[in-house]
Amino acid sequence: MTRQVLAADQVFDGQTLHRDRALLVEDGRIAGLIPRPADLPPLPGIIAPGFVDLQVNGGGGLMVGAGTDAAALTRICAAHRGLGCAGVLPTLITDRPQVTAQVLTAGAQAARDLIPGFLGLHLEGPHLDPRRAGAHDPALIRPMTADDLAQLVDAAARLPALMVTLAPGAATPDQIAALSRAGVIVSLGHSDCILPQAQDAIAAGARCATHLFNAMSQMGHRQPGLVGAVLAGTIHAGLIADGIHVDPAALTVALRARPRGLFLVSDCMAVAGSDLEAFDLQGRRILRRDGRLTLPDGTLAGADLRLDRAMRTVVAAGAEPARALAMATSIPADLLGAPTGRLLPGRAADLVHLDADLTLRGIWDGTGWQAPH
């Protein structure tokens, strides 16, 4: 048996930051937390579970889309492991039916191949509201059909997890209920719905909202919209905490309104883990400038964000460090039911090392700490 003892100033177990503790790893798996040996100098900063990102549109120079196969998913997952992610949901934005079918097939193969870091798929569309299309092609947005529903139910049985972002109005409550019964995580987004429509979708089984505040009906004092449904409710919600997609003041409001259930997503694109300055998305040029990804007209098109920066952003907006860490690890992992995001005995030792200010410094590869990409 290979036994390793890893120590830092603090160890985050998925819920709590511990001092004077060390992490015991046996044969690449977590054995537990132990008192820190007196003769073992701690790393400065924090050891924590690897990040879990439920919205990655691409990475390593590739987008999820036409041409995606299991090899492409392997490359995307590897790029994100180099950014500190123990697991990700590769995400397909609104596309043609044949592309959706191809990506679902690739995901099923990736699951059979046990690709490291592959937790399932996220389909963001095409069943959205064209009034809140954002960077999605409005010509490809359409309501859910019986065939679409059958395809998604079948895919859920072949994937470790399947998240589907849809808009109330583009799918009926009965369709949402059927997806939920099949194990699909239904997430509400890209919608101009009013509060009762959102509440009906949640009652039918929707469990999440996609990139809170972005591409959704905003909160007014007489018509709270989808934002109000999330802030006044209990469903989970992802946040793009880059200081660009959501103003820091709005982040503070969300953190105070929802002490539980919020998690961080990168909403990253092909440029993640690369030095690309531009790429093509469904025939449209996406530009990388000053920490932003935009269409030529300035429309935001995903984010140029790493999750350690997202954690620092929510800390600046009022979150305690332990909460910020949970928002990037245990909260999204628990939503999926994925065996990661917490330092529990028997789980793989997918670990990151962070400075005290939550800057990513190292990724554990089983033998030592490697620098992130």
Summarize pLDDT for 250-290 with one digit per residue, the tens. Answer: 999 999 999 999 999 999 999 898 888 888 888 889 899 88
Number of domains forming the structure of the chain: 2
Q: Are 108 and 172 part of one and the same domain? A: yes
Would residue 267 show up in a list of annotated catalytic residues for this protein? yes
b/e per residue 235-246 (b: at least 16 CB within 10 A) = bbbbbbbbbbbb
Q: Are 128 and 83 part of one and the same domain? A: yes
Q: Are 97 and 195 part of one and the same domain? A: yes
Q: Are 104 and 74 part of one and the same domain? A: yes
Predicted local confidence at residue 54, as pLDDT: 98
Q: Are 331 and 269 part of one and the same domain? A: yes
Residue from 242, 267, 304, 350 carrying the catalytic annotation: 267
Q: Are 101 and 21 part of one and the same domain? A: no
* Burial class (CB within 10 angstroms; exposed 0-12, middle 13-18, buried 19+) of 48: buried
| 88-97, 202-211, 276-285, 333-342: segment of lowest average pLDDT | 276-285
84, pLDDT greater than 90 = yes
CATH of the domain at 207: 3.20.20.140
Q: What domain range is 17 assigned to?
A: 3-48+344-370
CATH of the domain at 362: 2.30.40.10
Q: Are 152 and 258 part of one and the same domain? A: yes
Q: Are 203 and 269 part of one and the same domain? A: yes
- Of 217, 176, 186, 194, the residue nearest 122 (C-alpha): 186
* 340 pLDDT tier (thresholds 50, 70, 90): very high
Task: List the structure tokens of 306.
Answer: 């790493």
105, pLDDT greater than 90 = yes
Predicted local confidence at residue 300, as pLDDT: 85
Tens digits of per-residue pLDDT, 129-165?
999 999 899 999 999 999 999 999 999 999 999 999 9
Q: Are 66 and 43 part of one and the same domain? A: no
Q: Are 17 and 166 part of one and the same domain? A: no
- Rounded Cα distance between 85 and 340, Å, is 10
- Rounded Cα distance between 33 and 35, Å, is 7
Average pLDDT over every residue of 61-65? 95
Helical axes 146-158 vs 173-181, angle rounded to 10°: 20
Q: Are 30 and 144 part of one and the same domain? A: no
Q: Are 17 and 62 part of one and the same domain? A: no
